[in-house]
A and B are shown apart, each in its own frame.
Chain A
Amino acid sequence: MNLLAALLGIPAGAAVLVLLPFPIAVVGRLNVLCMLATLLTAGAMVPLVLAQGTLEGLHHFLRVDALSCLMVLLVSLTSFLASFYSVGYWESQPREERGSDQKIRGYYALVNLFVMSMLVVCTTDNLGVLWVALEATTLASAFLVGFYNKEASLQAAWRYLIICSLGISFALIGVVLAFASAVSAAGFHEYALNWSYLTSIADQLDPTALKLAFGFAVVGFGTKAGLVPMHGWLPDAHSEAPTPVSALLSGVLLKCALYALIRFAILVNHGIGDNFSGSILMPFGFLSVGIAALYLFGQTQIKRLLGYSSIEHVGVITIGLSFGSPLAVFGALFHMWNHAMTKSLLFFTAGNLYLCHHTLSMQKITGSLRLTTGTGIALLVGGLALSGTPPFSIFISEFSIVSAGIQLGYWVAPLLLIVLLVVIFAGLFSQLSRMAFGLPSEDAQDHEPSASPPISSLTGWALVIPMGFIVLMGWFIPGPLFELFSEGTRIITGDVPVETSIRSWWGNVWQE
């Protein structure tokens, strides 16, 4: 209970704290400390959740089980990394580009509000509150997307706000329908909007209403998650936002929307059974991976490229969820984590390249291995990992999703996925490696505006943690994290004893 209050209280307090008139260097570091405190709080919840199953608080408004705990951990870790990166990023930009100190303070305050609303999304038990918090994430991040106040970024912010607000309105219809069918089935109940209560009476709910509710939820939360027909806002928002915010949007905001979708899918599968949610989600997943694979080739700007790659990975996670077997769901959850880490690493790298070359255009950036060795290595490692090459962690999760599909007896779906992943490897890695190898272009050196401050070494250090995660987690998953993944899988797929099947599968991979 106290932990939950602290988890939401720290970012809320930090949002006020950063507005106080400290020097801007102090504000950034204070913010890092606050995010670290949030992360430690989230970490302290893990053993409790593993021991007790759930933590509850605030009159049944908050409820953290293994699945939520996993999300909380992911959100707080990525936010910590982004806030750490922010310090160096802002210090390395000239004042006329980043704006006044007051503007940076506003930036930190909004980031904290953004993180807090994501944490509410992951911890609340109440469907309505979840909707409100998810809409709040859009509102908090709209100005972050339009931070630079240029025409392009304002248009991106507008698009983001319009498309996400409209999309998520449809999710509210889903929420209302679920609530209405609960009230009509079991009478009015104080907690009739709570996941835990709804899931417990799921078999009494009207199946037609549930199906419709899920359809609306897929459209609504899918818009926020960037699933394909509704993805129009995503590449613009990712490329126009300041780099740490891009990492947050791609790394965790999309996952929060997916989390909401997962909760709905659990409810629907309890009520209807038959992996109904999977049959709806699978086309969306493949469409996302397919369209993203095509668009990856035409990109000229690195952050847009990474945006399209986010659509692809959301698609992969959706496919994993739609297969519905424990191994696939385990892979999907693991993929969420891997994608967040890899994408943060690459966005930070893109930010460093921008600081060095003053452009995001991929044609103009070459030879970063020679020019800035650390960033070049990060670009290569991140590029290999993101395009699903062994031995990095994304390969493992994609592999488990594909092999789960084959185990289930599907043939077309896993094969199609493999083909698409190969196409994506070609599209993504060829472009990223071109930036790493070769000679640095001439104008990279003379372009150097004398006014810009020296690049802070903090921007380099920020790459270390995500890089460590993607390399290490290709080999082993730390014990508590593994337990969270398998417990989360059990929550999603029901009472299947996933523990043994995955452990043995995991063992098999390494023996081969």
Chain B
Amino acid sequence: MPVFQELIHDVQGQAINVCSMFLLLSSFAIVAQRSLASCVSLYAMQSFFLGFTAMVVANASGVHHLYFAAALNFLIKAWLIPRILHRAVDRLNVKREVEPLVNIPSSLLICGGLMILALYFSQPIKQIGPLLTNDSLALGLAIVFIGCFIMISRRKLVTQIVGFLTVENGLFLLATAITYGMPLIVELGVFFDILVAALIFGVLLHRIQDTVESARPAESRFEEVGEVAP
């Protein structure tokens, strides 16, 4: 029944697109959010959609190791890392993002611009990826850029971590879109690195919280010590 198969194929393609759109939307939501705990929850949601996207792609392409990667996604990124971060947030004195360097409406506008930039960048590399996931490529790149923007524009250390993790999620989507995922051993290594990085971030956050009253940006240090900022 070729017609039926075509229909399924179409539905799968649509499902992948919808999931990637949700991923992008949750990144925008992180940009718009000021409560630290909500940022972490939004990140968990984003990772959940990422795992779901990977599952649909695995189903559509028949690349079975993606199921495994999707499972790791649910386990590590959607459950374990948010747990670590929520604990870290509970210990903090200040639970909201202080006055961001760029206010939220203009942040959202800038992220819209980054989205267009990502579309532009992904045009020349579109043809080397498989057709099915063509559109997710630009979305993955956009999420990477938005994650970078979060890291640069926010002052709170927790938001910076969420920005970093958003970048990693964007990278995963990008890799899934362009090659149906990297070889399993590399994928495992990347997951391991992210998990260890999240743990180290958590420990450093505690230590900084202990030595400094509240987690302050690195810049303010130089004025006190009187050294030249790079």
Contact = CB atoms under 8 A, between A and B. Distances in A.
Interface of A: 126, 128-129, 131-132, 135-136, 139, 142-143, 146, 149-152, 154-155, 157-159, 161-162, 165-166, 169, 172-173, 175-177, 179-181, 183-184, 192-193, 206, 208-209, 212, 231-232, 234-236, 295, 298-301, 304
A208 B127 CA distance: 11
User: Which 5 pairs from chain A and chain B are nearest by CB?
Assistant: A128-B186, A132-B189, A184-B128, A180-B178, A208-B124
A301 B196 CA distance: 33
A135 B200 CA distance: 13
Given A166-B148, A180-B128, A295 B230 contact: yes
A106 to B, nearest CB: 12
Given A184-B129, A212-B124, A158 B157 contact: yes
A379 to B, nearest CB: 22
B167 A128 contact: no
**Interface residue tally on B, bucketed by range:** 35 or more
Contact of A300 (B151, B192, B211, B227): B227
Contact of A128 (B144, B164, B189, B207): B189
B141 to A, nearest CB: 8
A139 B124 CA distance: 34
B228 A173 contact: no
B189 A176 contact: no
Interface in B168-216: 168, 171, 174-175, 178-179, 182-183, 185-186, 189-190, 192-193, 196-197, 200-201, 203-204, 207-208, 211-212
Contacts of B18: none
Given A150-B211, A169-B168, A177 B230 contact: no
Contacts of A135: 193, 197
A129 B189 contact: yes
B204 A157 contact: yes
A177 B207 CA distance: 38
A128 B208 contact: no
Contact of A155 (B141, B186, B193, B221): B221
A175 B164 CA distance: 18
Contacts of A304: 227
Contact of A132 (B160, B168, B186): B186
A385 to B, nearest CB: 25
Contact of B196 (A139, A159, A172, A179): A139
A56 B178 CA distance: 30
Contacts of B25: none
B186 A152 contact: no
Contacts of B171: 169, 172-173, 176
Contacts of A159: 218
A169 B143 CA distance: 12
Nearest to A208: B124
B109 to A, nearest CB: 22
Contacts, number: 131
16 contacts: A128-B183, A129-B189, A132-B186, A132-B190, A139-B200, A149-B211, A155-B221, A157-B204, A161-B204, A169-B167, A172-B171, A208-B124, A212-B124, A232-B230, A298-B228, A300-B228
B60 to A, nearest CB: 17
Given A143-B200, A158-B157, A208-B125, A152 B225 contact: yes
Interface of B: 121, 124-125, 127-129, 141, 144, 148, 151, 157, 160, 164, 167-168, 171, 174-175, 178-179, 182-183, 185-186, 189-190, 192-193, 196-197, 200-201, 203-204, 207-208, 211-212, 218, 221, 225, 227-228, 230
Contacts of A162: 151, 160, 164
Contact of B186 (A126, A295, A300): A126
Contact of B128 (A139, A155, A181): A181
A126 B183 CA distance: 11
Contacts of A169: 144, 164, 167-168, 171
Contacts of A236: 218, 230
Given A129-B186, A129-B189, A176 B179 contact: yes
Contacts of B203: 143
Contacts of B211: 149-151, 154
B185 A128 contact: yes
B152 to A, nearest CB: 9
A237 to B, nearest CB: 11
The interface centre, meaning the residue of A128, A193, A236 with most chain B CB atoms within 10 A of its CB, is A128
A299 B174 CA distance: 42
Contact of A166 (B129, B151, B192): B151
A176 B160 contact: no
Contact of A177 (B125, B148, B160): B125
Contacts of A146: 204, 207
Contacts of B168: 169
Contacts of A301: 227
Contact of B164 (A150, A165, A206): A165
Given A128-B185, A155-B221, A142 B200 contact: yes
A301 B171 CA distance: 39
A179 B193 contact: no
Contacts of B167: 166, 169
A363 B12 CA distance: 68
Contacts of A126: 185-186
Nearest to A172: B171
A300 B186 CA distance: 44
Nearest to A170: B144
A115 to B, nearest CB: 17
B196 A180 contact: no
